[in-house]
Homo-oligomer: A and B are copies of this chain.
Amino acid sequence: MYGTIMHAPGDVRYEELAMPTIQQPTDAIIKLSATCICGSDLWPYRGANAITAPMAMGHEYCGIVVEVGSDVKTVKPGQFVVGSFVLSDNTCPHCAHGFQSSCEQREFMTGAQAEYARIPLADGTLVSTDSQPDEDLIPSLLAVSDVLGTGWYAADAARVQAGMSVVVVGDGAVGLMGVLAAKQMGAERIIAMSRHKSRQDLALEYGATDIVAERGEEGIAKIKAMTNRIGADAVLECVGTQESMTQALQVARPGSMVGFVGVPHGVQFDGQKLFFTQVGMLGGPAPVRRFLPHLMDLVLSRKINPGKVFDQQIPLADVAEGYRAMDERRAIKTLLRV
Protein backbone atom coordinates (compact mmCIF):
# COMPACT_ATOMS: atom_id res chain seq x y z
CA MET A 1 0.00 0.00 0.00
CA TYR A 2 1.01 3.66 -0.33
CA GLY A 3 1.37 6.38 2.29
CA THR A 4 3.08 9.63 3.19
CA ILE A 5 6.54 9.98 4.68
CA MET A 6 8.27 13.24 5.64
CA HIS A 7 12.01 12.83 5.21
CA ALA A 8 13.11 16.38 5.91
CA PRO A 9 11.63 19.89 6.04
CA GLY A 10 9.90 20.47 2.73
CA ASP A 11 10.47 16.85 1.65
CA VAL A 12 7.17 14.92 1.73
CA ARG A 13 6.90 11.76 -0.37
CA TYR A 14 4.08 9.44 -1.35
CA GLU A 15 5.69 6.01 -1.31
CA GLU A 16 5.08 2.30 -1.05
CA LEU A 17 4.94 1.07 2.54
CA ALA A 18 4.27 -2.21 4.33
CA MET A 19 0.58 -2.95 4.87
CA PRO A 20 -0.23 -2.17 8.53
CA THR A 21 -1.01 -5.21 10.65
CA ILE A 22 -2.62 -5.91 14.03
CA GLN A 23 0.10 -5.56 16.66
CA GLN A 24 -1.97 -5.49 19.82
CA PRO A 25 -5.28 -7.27 20.43
CA THR A 26 -6.83 -3.81 20.93
CA ASP A 27 -5.85 -2.60 17.42
CA ALA A 28 -8.00 -2.15 14.35
CA ILE A 29 -6.95 -1.69 10.73
CA ILE A 30 -9.00 0.72 8.63
CA LYS A 31 -9.11 1.48 4.93
CA LEU A 32 -9.13 5.28 4.77
CA SER A 33 -12.11 6.91 3.06
CA ALA A 34 -10.34 10.26 3.19
CA THR A 35 -7.60 11.96 5.15
CA CYS A 36 -6.11 15.44 5.24
CA ILE A 37 -3.23 17.72 6.14
CA CYS A 38 -3.22 19.53 9.50
CA GLY A 39 -1.80 22.95 10.27
CA SER A 40 0.39 21.21 12.84
CA ASP A 41 1.94 19.09 10.03
CA LEU A 42 3.48 22.32 8.81
CA TRP A 43 5.63 22.75 11.94
CA PRO A 44 8.11 20.00 10.91
CA TYR A 45 7.54 20.79 7.21
CA ARG A 46 8.81 24.31 7.92
CA GLY A 47 11.68 23.07 10.08
CA ALA A 48 10.20 24.39 13.34
CA ASN A 49 10.13 20.88 14.84
CA ALA A 50 13.15 18.58 14.39
CA ILE A 51 12.84 15.50 12.14
CA THR A 52 15.21 12.86 13.48
CA ALA A 53 13.84 9.94 11.46
CA PRO A 54 11.44 9.58 8.51
CA MET A 55 7.95 10.35 9.83
CA ALA A 56 4.73 8.58 8.80
CA MET A 57 2.42 11.57 8.48
CA GLY A 58 -1.28 12.06 9.15
CA HIS A 59 -3.51 11.92 12.21
CA GLU A 60 -6.99 12.81 10.87
CA TYR A 61 -8.99 9.94 9.49
CA CYS A 62 -12.23 8.15 8.77
CA GLY A 63 -12.83 4.94 6.88
CA ILE A 64 -13.94 1.31 6.82
CA VAL A 65 -12.74 -1.22 9.37
CA VAL A 66 -11.01 -4.15 7.61
CA GLU A 67 -9.62 -6.12 10.56
CA VAL A 68 -9.78 -6.00 14.35
CA GLY A 69 -7.67 -7.49 17.15
CA SER A 70 -9.06 -10.22 19.38
CA ASP A 71 -9.97 -7.83 22.22
CA VAL A 72 -11.89 -5.32 20.10
CA LYS A 73 -15.59 -5.39 20.93
CA THR A 74 -17.30 -2.19 19.75
CA VAL A 75 -16.34 -2.02 16.08
CA LYS A 76 -16.16 -4.76 13.43
CA PRO A 77 -15.02 -5.19 9.84
CA GLY A 78 -17.22 -3.43 7.31
CA GLN A 79 -18.27 -0.56 9.62
CA PHE A 80 -17.58 3.07 8.82
CA VAL A 81 -15.73 4.75 11.68
CA VAL A 82 -14.36 8.11 12.73
CA GLY A 83 -11.71 8.44 15.42
CA SER A 84 -9.92 11.12 17.38
CA PHE A 85 -6.39 12.20 16.56
CA VAL A 86 -5.63 11.26 20.18
CA LEU A 87 -5.91 7.54 20.87
CA SER A 88 -7.48 6.77 24.24
CA ASP A 89 -8.88 3.80 26.14
CA ASN A 90 -12.00 5.81 27.11
CA THR A 91 -12.14 4.01 30.46
CA CYS A 92 -9.37 5.53 32.63
CA PRO A 93 -10.14 8.26 35.20
CA HIS A 94 -9.13 11.05 32.79
CA CYS A 95 -11.43 9.64 30.10
CA ALA A 96 -14.23 9.33 32.66
CA HIS A 97 -13.89 13.08 33.26
CA GLY A 98 -14.13 13.72 29.50
CA PHE A 99 -10.44 14.50 29.05
CA GLN A 100 -9.55 11.59 26.81
CA SER A 101 -6.69 13.68 25.41
CA SER A 102 -4.93 13.11 28.75
CA CYS A 103 -5.78 9.37 28.83
CA GLU A 104 -3.38 7.27 30.89
CA GLN A 105 -2.74 5.19 27.77
CA ARG A 106 -2.68 8.20 25.44
CA GLU A 107 -0.94 7.93 22.07
CA PHE A 108 -1.02 10.41 19.23
CA MET A 109 -2.17 9.03 15.88
CA THR A 110 0.34 8.83 13.03
CA GLY A 111 0.38 7.41 9.52
CA ALA A 112 -3.15 8.34 8.51
CA GLN A 113 -2.12 10.01 5.23
CA ALA A 114 -2.15 6.55 3.67
CA GLU A 115 -4.45 3.98 2.10
CA TYR A 116 -4.62 1.90 5.29
CA ALA A 117 -3.83 2.71 8.91
CA ARG A 118 -3.52 0.91 12.20
CA ILE A 119 -5.67 2.37 14.99
CA PRO A 120 -4.46 1.39 18.48
CA LEU A 121 -7.01 1.33 21.33
CA ALA A 122 -9.79 0.91 18.76
CA ASP A 123 -12.63 0.43 21.26
CA GLY A 124 -11.83 3.63 23.11
CA THR A 125 -10.96 5.70 20.04
CA LEU A 126 -13.35 4.87 17.20
CA VAL A 127 -17.05 5.63 16.83
CA SER A 128 -19.00 3.82 14.11
CA THR A 129 -22.02 4.98 12.12
CA ASP A 130 -25.20 2.87 11.89
CA SER A 131 -24.78 2.54 8.14
CA GLN A 132 -22.48 3.66 5.35
CA PRO A 133 -22.72 7.45 5.15
CA ASP A 134 -23.50 9.27 1.92
CA GLU A 135 -20.38 10.02 -0.08
CA ASP A 136 -20.88 13.79 0.13
CA LEU A 137 -20.70 13.62 3.94
CA ILE A 138 -17.19 12.14 4.00
CA PRO A 139 -15.37 15.51 4.20
CA SER A 140 -17.51 16.63 7.15
CA LEU A 141 -17.07 13.32 8.97
CA LEU A 142 -13.32 13.57 8.40
CA ALA A 143 -13.35 17.09 9.86
CA VAL A 144 -14.78 15.77 13.13
CA SER A 145 -11.59 13.75 13.71
CA ASP A 146 -9.51 16.79 14.61
CA VAL A 147 -10.20 20.19 13.12
CA LEU A 148 -13.86 20.44 14.12
CA GLY A 149 -13.26 18.60 17.40
CA THR A 150 -10.49 21.05 18.23
CA GLY A 151 -12.51 24.15 17.35
CA TRP A 152 -15.38 22.71 19.40
CA TYR A 153 -13.09 22.16 22.38
CA ALA A 154 -11.85 25.76 22.13
CA ALA A 155 -15.46 26.92 22.53
CA ASP A 156 -16.13 24.36 25.26
CA ALA A 157 -13.00 25.37 27.21
CA ALA A 158 -13.97 29.04 26.80
CA ARG A 159 -17.39 28.05 28.21
CA VAL A 160 -19.39 29.54 25.38
CA GLN A 161 -23.07 29.72 26.26
CA ALA A 162 -26.23 30.96 24.61
CA GLY A 163 -26.39 34.72 24.28
CA MET A 164 -22.68 35.34 24.74
CA SER A 165 -20.31 37.49 22.75
CA VAL A 166 -17.39 35.45 21.41
CA VAL A 167 -14.13 36.44 19.75
CA VAL A 168 -12.24 33.94 17.60
CA VAL A 169 -8.53 34.72 17.19
CA GLY A 170 -7.15 32.94 14.13
CA ASP A 171 -8.82 32.37 10.77
CA GLY A 172 -7.18 29.03 9.97
CA ALA A 173 -9.28 25.90 9.70
CA VAL A 174 -9.49 25.48 13.49
CA GLY A 175 -10.59 29.10 13.99
CA LEU A 176 -13.31 28.67 11.38
CA MET A 177 -14.51 25.53 13.18
CA GLY A 178 -14.47 27.57 16.38
CA VAL A 179 -16.91 29.97 14.74
CA LEU A 180 -19.14 27.04 13.77
CA ALA A 181 -18.97 25.68 17.32
CA ALA A 182 -19.81 29.03 18.93
CA LYS A 183 -22.79 29.35 16.61
CA GLN A 184 -24.04 25.86 17.52
CA MET A 185 -23.66 26.72 21.21
CA GLY A 186 -25.93 29.71 20.77
CA ALA A 187 -23.49 32.61 20.89
CA GLU A 188 -25.26 35.82 20.01
CA ARG A 189 -22.30 37.75 18.65
CA ILE A 190 -19.37 35.99 17.02
CA ILE A 191 -16.46 38.21 16.07
CA ALA A 192 -13.90 36.61 13.75
CA MET A 193 -10.49 38.25 13.56
CA SER A 194 -9.39 37.76 9.95
CA ARG A 195 -7.58 39.66 7.23
CA HIS A 196 -8.24 37.27 4.33
CA LYS A 197 -11.32 37.68 2.16
CA SER A 198 -11.90 33.97 1.48
CA ARG A 199 -11.58 33.12 5.18
CA GLN A 200 -13.79 36.05 6.19
CA ASP A 201 -16.46 34.76 3.79
CA LEU A 202 -16.31 31.27 5.24
CA ALA A 203 -16.40 32.67 8.79
CA LEU A 204 -19.58 34.58 7.92
CA GLU A 205 -21.07 31.46 6.38
CA TYR A 206 -20.29 29.50 9.56
CA GLY A 207 -22.04 32.08 11.73
CA ALA A 208 -19.70 35.00 12.40
CA THR A 209 -21.70 38.20 12.93
CA ASP A 210 -18.70 40.53 12.65
CA ILE A 211 -15.27 40.54 11.06
CA VAL A 212 -12.38 42.48 12.58
CA ALA A 213 -9.40 42.75 10.25
CA GLU A 214 -7.39 45.02 12.53
CA ARG A 215 -4.90 43.66 15.04
CA GLY A 216 -3.17 45.05 18.12
CA GLU A 217 -4.54 48.20 19.78
CA GLU A 218 -6.81 48.96 16.84
CA GLY A 219 -8.33 45.49 16.91
CA ILE A 220 -8.82 45.66 20.67
CA ALA A 221 -10.55 49.05 20.44
CA LYS A 222 -12.87 47.78 17.73
CA ILE A 223 -13.85 44.71 19.73
CA LYS A 224 -14.37 46.71 22.95
CA ALA A 225 -16.70 49.02 21.02
CA MET A 226 -18.74 45.94 20.05
CA THR A 227 -18.82 44.44 23.55
CA ASN A 228 -20.17 47.06 25.91
CA ARG A 229 -16.64 48.53 26.28
CA ILE A 230 -15.42 45.57 28.34
CA GLY A 231 -14.40 42.75 26.01
CA ALA A 232 -15.99 39.47 25.00
CA ASP A 233 -17.65 36.88 27.24
CA ALA A 234 -15.49 34.12 25.73
CA VAL A 235 -12.43 34.02 23.49
CA LEU A 236 -11.10 31.20 21.31
CA GLU A 237 -7.34 31.30 20.67
CA CYS A 238 -6.61 29.17 17.60
CA VAL A 239 -3.04 30.12 16.62
CA GLY A 240 -0.48 29.58 19.36
CA THR A 241 1.91 32.51 19.02
CA GLN A 242 2.74 35.11 21.67
CA GLU A 243 1.05 37.75 19.53
CA SER A 244 -2.20 35.85 19.13
CA MET A 245 -2.27 34.83 22.81
CA THR A 246 -1.74 38.43 23.93
CA GLN A 247 -4.48 39.54 21.54
CA ALA A 248 -6.82 36.91 22.99
CA LEU A 249 -6.20 37.95 26.59
CA GLN A 250 -6.72 41.61 25.75
CA VAL A 251 -10.13 41.20 24.11
CA ALA A 252 -11.50 38.98 26.91
CA ARG A 253 -13.46 40.64 29.69
CA PRO A 254 -12.47 40.00 33.32
CA GLY A 255 -14.12 36.80 34.47
CA SER A 256 -14.25 35.29 30.99
CA MET A 257 -12.30 32.31 29.71
CA VAL A 258 -9.84 32.00 26.84
CA GLY A 259 -9.96 28.50 25.31
CA PHE A 260 -6.58 28.01 23.67
CA VAL A 261 -6.00 25.21 21.20
CA GLY A 262 -3.14 26.42 19.04
CA VAL A 263 -0.05 24.61 20.38
CA PRO A 264 1.90 27.47 22.00
CA HIS A 265 5.27 28.11 20.41
CA GLY A 266 7.45 30.46 22.46
CA VAL A 267 4.53 31.77 24.55
CA GLN A 268 5.14 33.07 28.09
CA PHE A 269 2.69 34.51 30.63
CA ASP A 270 3.42 36.85 33.50
CA GLY A 271 1.56 35.70 36.60
CA GLN A 272 0.85 39.14 38.03
CA LYS A 273 -0.43 40.46 34.70
CA LEU A 274 -2.71 37.47 34.32
CA PHE A 275 -3.92 38.02 37.89
CA PHE A 276 -4.95 41.63 37.36
CA THR A 277 -6.35 40.96 33.88
CA GLN A 278 -8.59 38.44 35.69
CA VAL A 279 -9.09 36.38 32.54
CA GLY A 280 -9.29 32.61 32.84
CA MET A 281 -7.56 30.13 30.57
CA LEU A 282 -7.97 26.50 29.63
CA GLY A 283 -6.26 24.82 26.72
CA GLY A 284 -4.60 21.66 25.58
CA PRO A 285 -5.00 18.95 22.98
CA ALA A 286 -8.72 18.57 22.33
CA PRO A 287 -10.53 15.62 23.93
CA VAL A 288 -12.25 14.97 20.59
CA ARG A 289 -13.50 11.56 21.71
CA ARG A 290 -15.87 13.30 24.15
CA PHE A 291 -17.49 15.23 21.32
CA LEU A 292 -17.41 12.56 18.55
CA PRO A 293 -20.92 11.09 18.92
CA HIS A 294 -22.59 14.51 19.10
CA LEU A 295 -20.61 16.00 16.24
CA MET A 296 -21.10 12.94 14.03
CA ASP A 297 -24.86 13.22 14.67
CA LEU A 298 -24.81 16.89 13.67
CA VAL A 299 -23.05 15.97 10.43
CA LEU A 300 -25.18 12.91 9.60
CA SER A 301 -28.37 14.91 10.17
CA ARG A 302 -26.92 17.63 7.93
CA LYS A 303 -27.18 20.34 10.61
CA ILE A 304 -23.58 21.41 10.09
CA ASN A 305 -21.23 21.30 7.13
CA PRO A 306 -17.69 21.50 8.53
CA GLY A 307 -16.33 19.78 5.40
CA LYS A 308 -16.53 23.09 3.58
CA VAL A 309 -13.33 24.04 5.36
CA PHE A 310 -11.49 21.83 2.84
CA ASP A 311 -10.99 24.29 0.01
CA GLN A 312 -8.59 21.96 -1.77
CA GLN A 313 -9.41 18.32 -2.50
CA ILE A 314 -6.76 16.28 -4.31
CA PRO A 315 -5.81 12.62 -4.67
CA LEU A 316 -3.66 11.18 -1.86
CA ALA A 317 -0.92 10.55 -4.44
CA ASP A 318 -0.56 14.33 -4.79
CA VAL A 319 0.02 14.85 -1.05
CA ALA A 320 3.27 16.80 -1.65
CA GLU A 321 1.29 19.44 -3.58
CA GLY A 322 -1.15 19.62 -0.66
CA TYR A 323 1.67 20.47 1.75
CA ARG A 324 2.95 23.14 -0.65
CA ALA A 325 -0.52 24.66 -1.03
CA MET A 326 -1.07 24.90 2.73
CA ASP A 327 2.48 26.11 3.37
CA GLU A 328 1.98 28.90 0.82
CA ARG A 329 -1.51 29.60 2.25
CA ARG A 330 -3.08 28.87 -1.14
CA ALA A 331 -5.31 26.40 0.72
CA ILE A 332 -6.98 26.70 4.12
CA LYS A 333 -7.02 22.92 4.47
CA THR A 334 -6.35 20.12 2.02
CA LEU A 335 -8.40 16.93 1.84
CA LEU A 336 -6.67 13.89 0.39
CA ARG A 337 -8.95 11.53 -1.52
CA VAL A 338 -8.01 7.87 -1.04
CB nearest neighbor in B for A280: B282
CB nearest neighbor in B for A96: B228
Pairwise interchain contact B271-A278, C-beta atoms closer than 8 A: no
Is A133 part of the binding interface, using a Cβ–Cβ cutoff of 8 Å? no
Chain A 273-292 interface 0/1 with B at a Cβ cutoff of 8 Å (1 = within): 01111111111110100000
Give the size of the chain A interface in residues (CB under 8 angstroms).
44
Is A101 part of the binding interface, using a Cβ–Cβ cutoff of 8 Å? yes
Q: Which of B102, B263, B271 lies in contact with A255, CB distance below 8 A? A: B102
How many monomers of this protein are in the complex? 2
Is A293 part of the binding interface, using a Cβ–Cβ cutoff of 8 Å? no
Pairwise interchain contact A269-B269, C-beta atoms closer than 8 A: yes
Chain B residues positioned under 8 Å from A242 (CB to CB): 271
Pairwise interchain contact A267-B278, C-beta atoms closer than 8 A: no
Instruction: Give CA–CA (A264, B271) in the complex, Å.
Output: 6
Pairwise interchain contact B275-A264, C-beta atoms closer than 8 A: yes
Is A94 part of the binding interface, using a Cβ–Cβ cutoff of 8 Å? yes
Chain B residues positioned under 8 Å from A269 (CB to CB): 268-269, 271, 274
CB nearest neighbor in B for A281: B281
* Given A93-B228, A230-B94, A255-B102, A275:B283 Cβ within 8 A: yes
Pairwise interchain contact A255-B99, C-beta atoms closer than 8 A: yes
Is A152 part of the binding interface, using a Cβ–Cβ cutoff of 8 Å? no
Q: How far is the CB of A264 from chain B (nearest CB, A)?
A: 3
CB nearest neighbor in B for A266: B271
Chain B residues positioned under 8 Å from A263 (CB to CB): 272, 275
Pick the 5 closest A-B CB pairs, nearest first: A267-B271, A264-B271, A278-B284, A280-B282, A102-B254
Residues of A within 8 A of B (CB): 93-94, 97-99, 101-102, 104, 157, 228-230, 233, 240, 242, 245, 253-255, 257, 260, 263-272, 274-285, 287
In addition to A99-B254, A280-B282, 5 A-B residue pairs with Cβ atoms within 8 Å of each other are A101-B278, A268-B271, A269-B274, A276-B285, A278-B284
